[in-house]
Amino acid sequence: MKYFICLIIGLSTFSGSANQPLEIRIDPPHWWSGMNIQSLELLLEIKLKPKEFYIISEVIGDNISLVKDEEAKNRDYHYVTLNIGSDAPFQKLKIKGWRTDGESKAPISITYEFKERDLNLHKNMGLNQRDLIYLVTPDRFANGNKNNDVIAGLRETTINRTEGFSRHGGDLQGLTSQLDYIKSLGATAVWTMPILINDMPVYSYHGYAVTDHYKIDPRFGGLKAYKKYSDELEKRNMKLVMDVIPNHMGTYNRLFQNPPDSNWINAWPKRSELDDQGGVGGATLTNHRYATSYDPYAAPSDKAQFTDGWFVPSMVDINQRDNRCATYLIQNSLWWIEEVGVDAFRVDTWVYPDQNFLDKWSKEIHRVFPNFFIFSESWVHNEHSQAFYFNEHKTLDAAADFTMYSSWKEALEKPTSWNSGLNKLYMNVASDYQYKSPDRFITFLDNHDAGRFFGKIKENISLFKMGIAMLYTMRGIPCLYYGTEILLKELDDHGKIREDMPGGWGKKNGSRNAFMNSGLTSSESEALSFVREMAKIRESYSIVNTGSFRHWAPYDKIYAYCWYDEDEIILILANRSKKSEYFDINRLTELTFKDLEIILDTKSNIDPKESLKSLNAKKVPLLPDGLKILHFTR
Ligand SMILES: [Ca+2]
Ligand SMILES: [Ca+2]
Ligand SMILES: [Ca+2]
């Protein structure tokens, strides 16, 4: 993709600065016909000399016309609004105008393409309860192309695999080559941390400091690799989840360095010692107090600092209340969906941007792409906050379920008593009454920001299996963080939580290879096999996540929940007692059944006779920290 088009203005009748080659950039760089969008606002940028200005006077196209040309506060930029007729064909438009320094005048002529849509890209759009997401840090998963590890001209000039904050060289080519491995874990969708370019001097690998909203980082393979990745996902009927960041961008983004209007950015100098100071221009940081969003007593200054303060000094807070800026972000999101065939967005730091903007943004995406799926990251600590952010937004499809995450931590890291441990999980699930539709919440045991699950449960393989089994059978769409399946266990430090996937850097880097299941310890192999076993169970019993859900108050430190319909029941029993316990099948009393079969036992090999014994005795034994899954016919 070309971002700057150099045009030679060759009119011999004019002289002076207007005769120099022009650097022109248009965002979005192209569009499509037949998108169910009548109005498109191009952000045109022409690098002008002092005293120069320009006018766009005419658009020559079939059923597409110029509505208005408006100069931005920064005269380099214009907002050029096009009206697109509903039957406008795909075509190359001519955008015409002229620029002048007051003395000489030179014509501007730009070709702008409306492409033909490729509807095949959207065959698998959206997520549903049967999906399972695999989350990857692209810099840390697999290095498919060593030649793109360092790109000349970008600000970060090295890779260093021994440093957590450095780039390690992983890329989309590497990720694409391991899609079969990912699929073998039961995943039907892949969410990568952001892949747009982060041309920052340091700490650019994570992707959350975007410096160009229309460019895939060349160190991840660029647009070509992203499209190939999308195609390969599509071939496997897998879905592409893009991580988008409407709240902030990197300080080296041109929209901050040379913005169309200073109103695109939220920034004000520190007012008191209480404000943390940002790195660029001394902008105030956010106070991270999300309670100010719903607190009836919140001080207005606290509220403003929460939404408009910067997330960190290297990331500029975007003012989505500016209509031009909002349009830019909305069109950018639509562009990526259409360009690459994105199936879902994970929205970073959902609680920090202007909430009215988020409504407008998600509404427009759903208007153009009704099947598209959007889920939020709202890192909250209680159910009412989760409900506030989710229920407020009618067009938000799901939320990453942070309270389920916390309650799994309680259930698996702490002992169970009346009010703690497994009971926290039970009470959290009971709180689903607060949500408009919790059935598609994104559930997880760990993620790229929180310590690894296996480390948190103190490397206890029984609890690992219990957690994975619950993740794969609980209501919601499960999300597995890369490497959790082979017991990566680092805690606290981001660099370590996002460590390199064993096997992603070729044989030279040791024989430990998750993708080949070679060189792993016996526990790691056992964990990997267990995850695959759970994937098979989830796949074989489609009632999981689509049937009716019921659970029972924990009793004898056993939590029981099930999926049922008229024909069958899948019952999950988890024992967090230090001793063996029995689950009394009579507790299913309202759910009549004929036969039962034990389909999973995390503590021992399944004894087929046990099903019969349990049926006769009406009791299912569970070993300490054991989990069983039972299948009943009705
Ligand atoms: Ca690479
Ligand atoms: Ca797709
Ligand atoms: Ca903000």
**How far, in Å, is the centroid of ligand 3 from the Cα of 487?**
36
Neighbours of ion ligand 1 (CB under 5 A): 143, 145, 148-149, 169, 171
Q: Decide if pLDDT at 400 tops 70.
A: yes
Ligand 1 geometric centre to CA of 566 (Å):
52
CATH number at residue 248: 3.20.20.80
Residues 6+ apart with CB under 8 A from 529: none
Residues 302, 346 share a domain: no
Convert the pLDDT of each residue in 584-612 to its tens digit. Answer: 999 999 999 999 999 999 998 888 888 88
| Residue among 340, 365, 373 nearest 35 (CA) | 365
Residues 147 and 217 in one domain: yes
CATH number at residue 598: 2.60.40.1180
Phi, psi of 202 (to 5 degrees): -140, 160
Asked whether residue 536 is domain-assigned, the answer is: no
How many whole angstroms from 142 Cα to the centroid of ligand 2?
21
Which residues have CB atoms below 5 A from the ion given as ligand 3? 247, 307, 317, 352-353
Give yes or no for a contact between 193 and 448, defined as CB atoms under 8 angstroms apart. Answer: yes
**What per-residue confidence (pLDDT) applies to 22?**
76
Of the residues 492, 524, 556, which one is the last residue of a structural domain? 524
The pTM (predicted TM-score) of the whole model is 0.95
CA of 229 to the centre of ligand 2 (A): 10
The DSSP output letter for 241 is E
Q: Which of 91, 117, 143 is the last residue of a domain?
A: 117
pLDDT at 283: 82
Q: Are residues 392 and 511 in the same domain?
A: yes
CA of 521 to the centre of ligand 1 (A): 27
Do 161 and 232 share a domain, yes or no?
A: yes
Shared-domain flag, residues 328 and 357: yes
Lowest mean pLDDT among 22-26, 34-38, 431-435, 560-564: 22-26
* pLDDT tens readout for residues 150-195: 999 999 999 999 999 999 999 999 999 999 999 999 999 999 999 9
Expressed in angstroms and rounded, the spacing between residue 281 Cα and the centre of ligand 3 is: 17
Confidence band (pLDDT; 50, 70, 90) for 392? confident
User: Would residue 537 count as lying in a domain?
Assistant: no
Say yes or no: 183 and 271 in one domain: no
Which pLDDT tens digit goes with each residue over 97-149? 999 998 999 999 999 999 999 999 999 999 999 999 999 999 999 999 999 99
As a whole number of angstroms, the distance between CA 227 and CA 118 comes to 13
pLDDT at 8 over 50: no
What CATH number is attached to the domain comprising 75? 2.60.40.10
What percentage of residues in the chain have a pLDDT greater than 70? 94
Question: Is 191 part of any domain?
Answer: yes
Domain match, 112 and 45 both:
yes
User: What's the pLDDT band for 15 if we cut at 50, 70, 90?
Assistant: very low
Centroid of ligand 1 to alpha carbon of 323 (angstroms): 38
Do 623 and 554 sit in the same domain of this protein?
yes
- Report yes or no on 166 lying in a domain: yes
Distance 336 CA to ligand 2 centre (A): 11
User: Mean per-residue pLDDT for 541-559?
Assistant: 95
Q: Is residue 439 in a domain?
A: no
Q: Based on the domain organization, do 233 and 269 belong to the same domain?
A: no
**Interval between CA 426 and ligand 3 midpoint (Å):** 34
Length of the chain: 634
**43 and 95, same domain (yes or no):** yes
Q: Which of 117, 148, 171 is the last residue of a domain?
A: 117
pLDDT of residue 164: 93
The model's confidence at residue 278, banded by pLDDT at 50, 70 and 90, is: low
Ligand nearest to the CA of 248: 3
State how far the Cα of 527 lies from the Cα of 535, in Å rounded to an integer. 12
Cα distance between residue 243 and residue 234, in whole Å: 18
Counting ligands in written order, the one closest to the CA of 247 is 3
pLDDT of residue 3: 40
Total structural domains within the chain: 4
Torsion of CA 359, 365, 368, 369, to 10 degrees: -130
How many whole angstroms separate alpha carbon 192 and alpha carbon 233?
Answer: 13
Give me the pLDDT at residue 456, please: 97
If one compares 281 and 48, the residue with the highest pLDDT of the two is 48
Convert the pLDDT of each residue in 211-265 to its tens digit: 999 999 999 999 999 999 999 999 999 999 999 999 999 999 999 999 999 999 9
Same domain as 244, residue 267: no
Statement to judge: residues 231 and 347 lie in one domain: yes
Residue 257 CA to ligand 2 centre (angstroms): 34
Indicate whether 123 belongs to any domain.
no
- How far is Cα 22 from Cα 422, in angstroms, rounded to an integer? 66
Task: Give the number of whichever ligand sits closest to the CA of residue 357.
Answer: 3
**pLDDT category of residue 276 using cuts at 50, 70 and 90:** low
- What lies within 8 Å, CB to CB, of 538 at 6+ separation is 132, 186, 472, 473, 544, 545
Distance 463 CA to ligand 2 centre (A): 35
Which of 222-226, 394-398, 429-433 bottoms out in mean pLDDT, i.e. has the lowest? 394-398
Residue-averaged pLDDT of the chain: 93
551 CA distance to ligand 3 centroid (A)?
Answer: 39
Lookup: tokens for 44 = 């045109």
Domain that holds residue 600: 548-633
454-463 pLDDT, tens digit per residue, is 999 999 999 9
Which ligand sits closest to the CA of 338? 2
441: closest CA among 456, 429, 449, 450?
429
Asked if residue 315 is part of any domain, the answer here is: no
Does residue 53 form part of some domain? yes
**pLDDT band, very low/low/confident/very high, at 1 (cuts 50, 70, 90):** very low
Burial 477-514 (b: 16+ CB within 10 A, else e): bbbbbbbbbbbbbbeeeebebbbbbbbbbeeeeeeebb
Name the closest ligand to CA 239: 2
Q: Cα angle at 618 between 615 and 620, to 5 degrees?
A: 85
| pLDDT value for 19 | 54
Which range has the worst mean pLDDT, 163-177, 265-279, 385-399, 435-449?
265-279
Instruction: Give me ligand 2 centre to Cα 372, in Å.
Output: 10
Considering every ligand atom shown, identify the ligand nearest to the alpha carbon of residue 122 and give its number: 2
CA of 160 to the centre of ligand 1 (A): 12
